[in-house]
Amino acid sequence: MLLIIVFVLALAITLFVLLYDRREEKRVEIVKKNSPKIAALIALNGSVHFNDVNANFEINKLYDNKMHFNKIAPAYLMAADIRENMDACAKCLAQVKENREKFAEYQANVDKLFKKEFPINFDIIKMPLSVYYEHEERIFNQMKLSPIVDCLFHVKMSYISRGGRVHLYKDGVFNFEDMSACYDSVSRSRLDRTTYEKLAAVERGKVSDSLRYDILNRDNFTCVLCGASAKQGVRLHVDHIIPIAKGGKSTPDNLRTLCERCNVGKSDKIEGNPQNIESEFNVTVCKWCGGKLVLRKGKNGEFYGCSNYPKCRYTKAK
């Protein structure tokens, strides 16, 4: 008997819920069909166009070298990625900026529309006034446009030790303002010192322990300039043939094995004719203070000196 009563009650509740939901669906249809405010919002929505932007970016970077992992910040990786994809980034930022400007005007018109009073024929809607306004407000808010007005650039970095015992992680999330400021800094024809150091650190960080071994192994663990080898007890370095400061990349064809003595002696020189190589990272910027390097004449000939002299006494051979 008890089971029958429970079954009947459950059935009654189910029927009540179904009938209630059906009544609410009809009320929603009536409001949508007869509300002048909803009709005005539909017309407003049809008059404005927002850009469909893919504004979510993500970088996942795994390091096997702890020094590089500790030295490079998530913002550095974002800057390097933006510099490598300038056109796509510029287009995305421009579209989001346009959306923001249009959305501000759209939102102002929506607010005015929502506060405006419209004549209502309650003989047609046949529902309590409070119920009508409740449905109208909910439908109105649901129908408002929500364009993309922000960018999100998520950088995830991780380090795993050779034995797998040490796992380190760090990440950063950057928005439209962060990306715009970063784009402005890396798009300059002459990079400031801070931006250069960020990009250079990322480029150096591409020389993983695995890639370093591959280069040393390729060159038989021997300095390609003087022939000194690890068997003789010399310390071997992996050198950028075209230095990073002059646009060199951390790719196998631009890497080679040098002993410590040859690498220190080479410094950031370019073999051959360096005048024919255009620097990607502006080499006319002072490495000490970020000022401009200008050509000067001294008793020993021409040289580059910092424009902030005498506060900064950095010099560079011509």
Q: Give 247-257 pLDDT, tens digit per residue.
A: 788 988 888 99
Are residues 64 and 131 part of one domain? yes
pLDDT higher than threshold 70 for residue 6: no
Residues 286-305: pLDDT tens digits? 655 556 677 887 777 787 78
pLDDT at residue 281 greater than cutoff 90 = no
Q: Which residue would you say has higher pLDDT here, 229 or 270?
A: 229
Q: Which of 312, 265, 310, 270 is nearest to 287 (CA)?
A: 312
Q: Are residues 29 and 163 in the same domain?
A: yes
Q: How far apart are CA 236 and CA 229, in angstroms?
A: 8
Q: Which helix (H) or strand (E) holds 112?
A: helix 86-115
Beta carbons of 23 and 131 less than 8 angstroms apart: no
Tell me, yes or no, whether 34 and 152 share the same domain. Answer: yes
- Is pLDDT above 90 for 193? no
Q: Is the pLDDT of residue 153 over 90?
A: yes
Percent of the chain's residues with pLDDT above 90: 37
Q: How many residues are present in the chain?
A: 318
Q: 113 with 41: CB under 8 angstroms?
A: yes
- pLDDT score recorded for residue 172: 96
- Classify residue 194: in a domain, yes or no: no
Residue 270 placed within a domain: yes
Point out the least confidently predicted range of 57-61, 177-181, 204-208, 241-245.
Answer: 241-245
Q: By the 8 A CB rule, do 159 and 69 touch?
A: yes
Q: What is the pTM of this model?
A: 0.70
Q: How many domains does the chain have?
A: 3
Query: Could you tell me the residue range of the domain that residue 294 belongs to?
Result: 284-318
219 & 125 share domain: no
| Residue 310 domain flag | yes
Residue 200 maps to a domain: no
Highest mean pLDDT among 88-92, 128-132, 259-263, 279-283: 88-92
